[in-house]
Amino acid sequence: MRHNDMRRMPAGTDVEGYFQRTLGLKIQIKPVSGISLPFYLASLYSIASTEIEGRKLLFCELAGDEQPSPAQLRKHATELRERTSLELVFVLPGLSSWDRARLIEGRVAFVVPGRQLYLPALLIDLREHFARERERSDRLSYPAQFLVLLQLLQGNVEGKTVRELSREFSYSATTMSRAVRELEALGLVETGEGKARPLHFPADRQSFWNTALPHLHTPIKALCFVPAGSGLPQLPRAGMSALASLSMLNDDARQTYAISAPDVKLLVADGRARKQSMDEGDSRLEVWAYDPEVLAGENAKTVDPLSLYLSLAGENDERVRQALVGLVKEAL
C-alpha cells in the first residue's frame, strides 16, 4: 500500500477551463493526500478533487500511456469509490465511440478535456460537439457579440451595412447578415430603410451594455500553453495578467495572453504552443473566438475591458469582480 502523492493533475487546468467554458462552472481542482491505494491503482492514476453543487468529486487522470478498457475502468471506479466514499471522474486523453458507449452504459463518469463530459451523479451528459445545441437560445453568436462590443468600444459600426462590415472584417456577408438578424430579434439594433439597411444602435452606451450583457458570453474557446523562454509574437495580456496591469490586483504566477484561433494554429504547427502545460513557468494562451487585437486596438498591451469582463465573469473573488466593474464603467 502507498499514499497517492500530492502533485497536481497535469490536466487540471484543462479540466477547470473546460468546465467553465462548457457549463459556466468555476471549479478548482486541488491535490489530495492521505488516501491509501493499492500500488496498481496508485501507479495508474494521479488523483485530485473538487466540489460541485456541494458534491465532492475525485478526478483520476491516467499517469501513463496505457488506457484501461471500459470494464477495467468500471472495476477501478468501484474500488476507488469504496475506498474514498467519493464520486469518481476519470480524466482521459481520448475515447473511441465504442468505449464511450460502454462507459456511459456502465454509468462511469469521465471527462475528455475540450471534447466530452459525462457526469451521471450530477445529471450531466454532454458529448462531442452537442454542447452548442444546449446553449440558451437567446445567447448571441460570436459574430453578433463582436458587433456589439465593437460598437460599444469604438462606435464605428453605427451606420454601416452588412456588406461594408463583411468587407472590413473576416466574416462573410452571410455570417454578418445572420448576426444582424440575431441583434434585431433581441432589440439590440435597428436597421434603416432601403436595400442597404444601415445599422442603428442605442445612443446610451451604458443602457445598451446592460441590455446586451445577459446575451453575451466568454470569448475563450480553448487554452494553449507556451514553454518558458519560447518566442511569442506580440500579444495582448488577458485574464488576471490583464486585470493586474489595469488595476491594483496581483498577477498570477503564470502569464496569460489572448490570441485568435487562426493565429494559434500557426504556433501549434511550428511547435511553439501545445495543448497541455508541462511546467509551471509556461505562459497560458486564451484562444478567442474573435481577434482580440481588433477590439483592443493594434499593439494594445491588454485585451479590451468588456471582453476581459466576460472572460472573468465566473470569478468569485469580490476584489476581482469590483475591479472588473470599475473597468467597465471607465470603458463606457
Residue 218, pLDDT > 50, answer yes
In a domain, 263, yes or no: yes
Give residue 12's pLDDT: 60
Give residue 131's pLDDT: 43
pLDDT average, residue stretch 270-289 = 82
Do 206 and 264 have their domain in common? no
Residue at a domain's end among 131, 159, 174 = 131
Do 79 and 156 have their domain in common? no
- For 101-155, the pLDDT digits (tens) are 888 888 899 988 877 888 887 765 444 434 444 444 578 999 999 999 999 999 9
Give residue 118's pLDDT: 87
pLDDT average, residue stretch 216-222 = 93
Residue 2, pLDDT > 60, answer no
Do 92 and 148 have their domain in common? no
Give residue 13's pLDDT: 65
Do 149 and 266 have their domain in common? no
Residue at a domain's end among 215, 246, 266 = 215
Angle at 184 between CA 183 and CA 187, to 5 degrees: 90
> 466574416: which residue's cell?
171
Residue at a domain's end among 99, 131, 163 = 131
Do 224 and 209 have their domain in common? no
Domain hosting residue 156, numbered range: 142-215
**Average pLDDT over the chain, rounded to an integer:** 84
In a domain, 178, yes or no: yes
Residue 9, pLDDT > 80, answer no
In a domain, 136, yes or no: no
CA dihedral 164, 166, 168, 169 (to 10 degrees): 150
Do 34 and 111 have their domain in common? yes
In a domain, 137, yes or no: no
- For 144-182, the pLDDT digits (tens) are 999 999 999 999 999 999 999 999 998 999 999 999 999
Do 17 and 89 have their domain in common? yes
CB atoms within 10 A of CB 150: 20
Give residue 328's pLDDT: 94
**3-state DSSP of the chain:** CEECCCCCCCCHHHHHHHHHHHHCCCCCCEECCCCEECHHHHHHEEEEEEEECCEEEEEEEECCCCCCCHHHHHHHHHHHHHHHCCEEEEECCCCCHHHHHHHHHCCCCEEECCCEEEEHHHCEEECCCHHHHHCCCCCCCHHHHHHHHHHHHHCCCCCCCHHHHHHHCCCCHHHHHHHHHHHHHCCCCEECCCCCCCEECCCCHHHHHHHHHHHCCCCEEEEEEECCCCCCCCCCECHHHHHHHHCCCCCCCCCEEEEEHHHHHHHHHCCCCECCCCCCCCEEEEEECCCHHHHHCCCCCECCHHHHHHHCCCCCCHHHHHHHHHHHHHHC
Task: Tell if the pTM clears 0.75, that is, is over it.
Answer: no
In a domain, 205, yes or no: yes
In a domain, 248, yes or no: yes
pLDDT average, residue stretch 80-96 = 85
Strand partners, 73: none
**Which of the four pLDDT bands, split at 50, 70 and 90, describes residue 207?**
very high
Residue 1, pLDDT > 50, answer no
Q: State the CATH number of the domain containing residue 198.
A: 1.10.10.10
Do 227 and 192 have their domain in common? no
How many domains does the chain fold into?
3
- For 25-37, the pLDDT digits (tens) are 778 888 777 677 7
**Which of the four pLDDT bands, split at 50, 70 and 90, describes residue 97?**
confident
Do 101 and 10 have their domain in common? yes
